[in-house]
């Protein structure tokens, strides 16, 4: 079986999109219900102990990139507080089992990131249940395609910003208050911050905000020994895409526009988070690591 260290052709490493790439009705979407299951590294990620003893929060930990990050962090030695929506419990319990199988502590804490009190509770739980917090990985995001601004409601615009930007702010603010020197914050942007799709007006705007917020915060907390960086994925095959993130008719070609000719799998994003979390990247802060299959960025 291959793993993340196996030499292979990235253009053929995973399947290309096709008609079997189907949508789900309504959000947020469950990985278990996807016709084509993503690879989050369940069978392929092999840890090397780079995060032994670390204490982390991962949002969106039930599926997609958050799931892959949680699996990788656990196999690298971190204990984790897992954040996800209550309706995603079935997917989240699979991740809990994988974290525990890796010999690490998994604290499952469902809730809504649009609620500031819940964000604060995540940090408090890390301190109480894990004995501290030195790694915050903000992955959870809201993405719903709307072709025309006339149809983009204030309610959706607000929910997208509260999920993608406000929650990041609340979590960073609470986390920095308890983080020791050497800690790392990793936020999640997107190629949408550089090449926005017209159907993702609100989502793309939040991703640009995440980049700027992270660069400013990195400078603010550098003297405290806390690093802040960003991972900016390109098209990644996750439940976010099939539950309203993309038009149903576009799913069969999802990711084909990338120079590598296919969407990424969540497992391919995980090493970026591990690198930015580990001491290997101790001189890297305020940076955006683009993992987008070759799509040009500034």
- pLDDT tens-place string over residues 170-220: 999 999 999 999 999 999 999 999 999 999 999 999 999 999 999 999 999
| Ramachandran assignment for 140, one of left (phi > 0), alpha (psi -120 to 50 degrees), beta (any other) | beta
Its domain, for residue 80, covers 31-291
* Tokens encoding 44: 């392929």
- Please pick, among 45, 84, 194, 203, the residue that the annotation labels catalytic: 203
Flag whether 117 is in a domain.
yes
- For residue range 92-105, list pLDDT tens digits in order: 999 999 999 999 99
Flag whether 7 is in a domain.
no
* Tokens encoding 100: 């525990």
CATH number of the domain at 168, please: 3.40.50.720
pTM for this prediction: 0.95
Flag whether 120 is in a domain.
yes
Flag whether 254 is in a domain.
yes
118 is catalytic: no
Flag whether 153 is in a domain.
yes
- How far apart, in whole angstroms, are the C-alpha atoms of residue 13 and residue 168? 33
Q: How many domains does one find in the chain?
A: 1
Flag whether 2 is in a domain.
no
Residue ranges in the chain assigned as alpha helix (H): 64-75, 89-101, 116-125, 154-161, 167-176, 201-221, 239-240, 266-277
- For residue range 114-169, list pLDDT tens digits in order: 999 999 999 999 999 999 999 999 999 999 999 999 999 999 999 999 999 999 99
* Tokens encoding 68: 């892959």
pLDDT of 23? 62
- How far apart, in whole angstroms, are the C-alpha atoms of residue 155 and residue 173? 25
Mapping DSSP to helix (H, G, I), strand (E, B) and coil, where does residue 264 land? strand
Flag whether 262 is in a domain.
yes
Contact partners, residue 289, CB within 8 Å, separation at least 6: 229, 230, 231, 232, 272, 275, 276
Flag whether 19 is in a domain.
no
Nearest partner of 149 among 200, 210, 204, 194, judged by Cα: 200
């Amino acid at each position: 079986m291959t793993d993340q260290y196996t030499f292979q052709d990235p253009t053929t490493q995973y399947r290309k999109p096709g008609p079997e790439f189907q949508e789900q009705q309504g959000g947020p979407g469950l990985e278990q219900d996807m016709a084509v299951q993503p690879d989050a590294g369940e069978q392929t990620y092999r840890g090397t102990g780079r995060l032994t003893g670390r204490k982390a929060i991962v949002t969106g930990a039930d599926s997609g990139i958050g799931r892959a990050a949680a699996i990788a962090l656990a196999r690298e030695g971190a204990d984790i507080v897992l954040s996800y929506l209550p309706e995603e419990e079935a997917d989240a319990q699979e991740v809990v089992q994988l974290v525990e199988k890796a010999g690490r502590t998994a604290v499952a804490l469902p809730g809504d990131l649009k609620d500031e009190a819940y964000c604060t509770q995540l940090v408090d739980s890390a301190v109480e249940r894990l004995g501290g917090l030195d790694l915050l990985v903000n992955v959870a995001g809201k993405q719903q395609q709307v072709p025309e601004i006339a149809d983009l409601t204030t309610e959706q615009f607000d929910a997208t910003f509260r999920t993608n930007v406000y929650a990041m702010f609340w979590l960073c603010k609470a986390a920095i208050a308890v983080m020791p020197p050497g800690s790392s914050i990793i936020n999640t942007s997107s190629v949408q911050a550089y090449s926005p799709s017209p159907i993702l007006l609100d989502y793309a705007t939040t991703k640009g905000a995440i980049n700027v917020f992270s660069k400013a915060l990195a400078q603010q907390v550098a003297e405290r020994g806390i690093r802040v960086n960003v991972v900016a994925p390109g098209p990644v095959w996750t439940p976010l895409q099939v539950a309203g993130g993309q038009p149903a008719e576009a799913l069969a070609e999802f990711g084909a526009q990338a120079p590598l000719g296919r969407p990424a799998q969540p497992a391919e994003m995980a090493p970026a988070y591990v690198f930015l979390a580990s001491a290997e990247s101790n001189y890297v802060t305020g940076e955006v690591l683009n993992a987008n299959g070759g799509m040009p960025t500034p």
